[in-house]
Amino acid sequence: MSSKSVVQINYEFPGQKSVYKGKVRDVYNINDKYLVMVVSDRISAFDVVLPKGIPFKGQVLNQIASKFLDATSDIVPNWKVAVPDPTVTIGYMCEPYKVEMVIRGYLTGHAWREYKEGKRTLCGVVLPEGMKENQKFDNPIITPTTKAAEGHDEDISRDDIINSGLVNASEYEMLEQYTQALFARGTEMAAEKGLILVDTKYEFGKKDGKIYLIDEIHTPDSSRYFYADGYTERLEKGEAQKQLSKEFVRQWLIENGFQGKEGQQVPDMSDEFITQVSERYIELFENITGDKFVKADASNVSSRIEKNVMEALTKL
């Protein structure tokens, strides 16, 4: 299985100035003008990259993001220029804002964990009393985080973002407007597929004085989806929702005694578990996009990527 997954690869592309290796993505700077983003099959949870890759995960994430970038380009311009390979997007280099715009339609995940501990304010947003896990908010709430170069992203309020000068007030207002509009579009598109877009995050950057949407959008790594069917019954019975997200990986880790805390060991990921996760990602793709997933030739992923990117760069 592992030979088919892209975990660690290094390229030297023409005009390459630097490379940034994130938890999941490797981003190559081409002449300070374009970025080549290779979406690997690495998987992270609790800000830790797990030791084994998930075959086809990179392809799933890249192709979902590509579809949603196209479907929202009328709301806000985005960085995408070309998708030369199933796992690669080439786009404009933008100066990223140092905040991630997290938007939540439902009380779940991190927000629920905070709420359960008795907190009623999240990122400066006051949460109503008496809510249940996975309950819908009257209106989606924006709970931004700082974008950490390493380690955990930290919750931050709108006022702190503006007062600290991370983003100026007028631009931050634009980021909020774009975030609400993108989430509304994502919610509509999910509903057409029988899904609920529960929460997600967007990243923005600036190029030539204009705000662009950058990175991924509406993927299961950046978003949480519930199945709409049975949502209300499960909520009323206090049962867990049927999810389309990476949450099942987090749950498996928690059950196996790992939450990214100091001294904890990542449990062994069996081939069977890795296959299961790969199948879940493919299921995610088909449910979210409504398209049949076509597995790319995985016999030599590394050289396939290199060849496709090299060809695309000559056309830019």
Assigned domain for 14 exists: no
Spell 231-240 as b/e; 16+ CB within 10 A means b.
beebbeeeee
CA-based max dimension of the chain: 58
Q: What is the mean pLDDT of residues 87-101?
A: 97
- Map residue 222 onto helix, strand or coil: coil
- Residue 220: the pLDDT is 85
Asked if 25 and 41 touch (Cβ cutoff 8 Å), the reply is: no
> Does 202 map to a domain?
yes
CATH number of domain containing 157:
3.30.470.20
Tokens at residue 285, please?
Answer: 């793709």
Residue 62 backbone class (left: φ over 0; alpha: ψ -120 to 50; beta: rest): alpha
Q: How far is CA 257 from CA 54, 82, 251, 261, 271, in A?
A: 21, 41, 10, 10, 19
pLDDT band at 123 (very low <50, low <70, confident <90, very high): very high
Looking at the chain, the whole-number percentage of residues with pLDDT higher than 70 is: 97
pLDDT above 90: percentage of residues in the chain: 85
**Separation of alpha carbons 26 and 262, rounded Å:** 26
Judge whether 293 lies within some domain.
no
Residue 148 has pLDDT above 80, yes or no: no
Specify whether the CB–CB gap between 114 and 94 falls below 8 A.
no
pTM for this prediction: 0.90
- Report d(CA 24, CA 222) in Å as an integer: 12
Residue 106 lies in a domain: yes
Q: What is the pLDDT of residue 1?
A: 38
Note whether residue 105 is domain-resident: yes
Whether 141 maps to a domain, the answer reads yes
Gap between the Cα atoms of 57 and 302, Å rounded: 15
Give the residue-averaged pLDDT of 243-256.
Answer: 87
Q: What is the pLDDT of residues 15-62, one digit of tens each?
A: 999 999 988 999 999 999 999 999 999 998 888 999 999 999 999 999
pLDDT at 229 exceeding the cut of 70:
yes
Mean pLDDT of the 239-248 span: 85
Q: Tell me the three state secondary structure of residue 293.
A: coil
For the segment 215-234, the average pLDDT, to the nearest whole number, is: 94
Whether 28 maps to a domain, the answer reads: no
Query: In 3-state terms, what secondary structure has residue 232?
Result: helix
Domains: count for the chain: 1
At residue 227, φ and ψ (nearest 5 deg) are: -75, 130
Domain that holds residue 192: 96-244
Asked whether residue 103 is assigned to any structural domain, the reply reads: yes
